[in-house]
Amino acid sequence: MPLVNTTEMFQKAYEGGYAIGAFNVNNMEIIQGVVAAAKDEKAPLILQVSSGARKYASPIYLRKLVEAAVEESGLPIALHLDHGDTFELCKSAIDDGFTSVMIDASHHAFAENIKITSQVVAYAHARGVTVEAELGRLAGIEDDVNVTAENASYTDPAQVEEFVEKTGVDSLAIAIGTSHGAFKFKGDAALRFDILEEVENRLPKFPIVLHGASSVVPEYVDLINKYGGAMPGAKGVPEDMLRRAASMAVCKINIDSDLRLAFTAAVRRHFSENPAHFDPRQYLAPARNLIQECVKHKLVNVLGCNNKA
């Protein structure tokens, strides 16, 4: 099976009351860990690449690694551009073989967001590529941009119908209180399910996306706090909230920070136990294994997309 776009996976996820995991990938070991978990659990998958990841690996390497994952796993996998901020970047990803792109023009005014998103949709749809856009602004760190809590804004449900109608976009990321990065929520976690509900009512059967949805896998909290560099007491999004969102209109849940924490924790633990090792395979294999375990946990316990491939 070749790379797929997100149309069919979102339709099934919406009807089935589960969500697809969209995992950020930066290198071979992360891709292999995520894909091994999806293979174990027979889960459809979105592998997403940020512009930073594309620059780091150079565009062709990640695409070739993802193509290898498709060939080796036989799973339905979409290759998605995460947070494309210009038409040119989205066009370049599409020309490069991505099957799905996000145009994130959420930092622009509403009319400008519509204009840029529509331009991307026209280019993408002519080539069978699906498009995600964003309304509202999440707090946290995205690439080089740090959105402070004061500059973050919840999605206004009154804008969503006009936005979707005018742009023709295939899915919409909304801001309901999740945030990017490893340190979410200073106090108790709270998500605005009332906004999600209103969006769901206004856009029947339309796939919604949650960014900033890392949750720290419970089994690995101690390990990650000890070796992952997380601040003691830092909180991800509680898993029960993500499960609730997945049972509603949320069809795509974005996870990056959890993978970074797991990868780093495994490498740090390896060196603390084996300070003399210097063969990269010795410390990257445990990182790949921990990614696999964490992703399996999410596919089954958070997203509910196991056995849906």
Partner that binds at residue 213, options ligand 13P, ligand G3H, Zn ion, none, CB closer than 5 to 8 Å by kind: ligand 13P
Distance between CA atoms of residues 127 and 304, nearest Å:
30
Binding flag, residue 80, ligand G3H (CB under 6 A): no
Q: Tell me which residue of 252, 263, 255 sits closest to 290, measured CA to CA.
A: 263
Among 106, 155, 171, 257, binds ligand 13P (CB under 6 A): 257
Q: Name the catalytic one among 40, 82, 194, 222.
A: 82
Are 54 and 79 within 8 A, CB to CB?
Answer: no
- Of the pair 51, 292, the CB lying nearest Zn ion is at 51
* DSSP symbols for 28-70: HHHHHHHHHHHHHHT--EEEEEEHHHHHHH-HHHHHHHHHHHH
Measured at the CA of 88, the angle between CA 83 and CA 91, to 5 degrees, comes to 85
Are 34 and 291 within 8 A, CB to CB?
Answer: yes
Active site residue 82: yes
Please give the residues from 58 up to 97 whose contact with ligand 13P meets the rule CB under 6 A: 82-83
Distance between CA atoms of residues 81 and 285, nearest Å:
26
Q: Which stretch binds ligand 13P (CB under 6 A): 212-220, 238-246, 276-284, 291-299?
A: 212-220
Contact code string over 45-64 relative to ligand G3H, x by CB under 6 A: -----x-xx-----------
Binding flag, residue 180, ligand G3H (CB under 6 A): yes
Binding flag, residue 51, ligand 13P (CB under 6 A): no
Partner that binds at residue 53, options ligand 13P, Zn ion, ligand G3H, none, CB closer than 5 to 8 Å by kind: ligand G3H
C-beta nearest to Zn ion: residue: 211
Binding flag, residue 97, ligand G3H (CB under 6 A): no
**98 contact partners, CB below 8 Å, separation of at least 6:** 49, 63, 79, 80, 81, 129
Q: Which stretch binds ligand 13P (CB under 6 A): 39-47, 116-124, 256-264, 276-284?
A: 256-264
- Three-state DSSP state, 284: helix
Catalytic residue IDs: 82
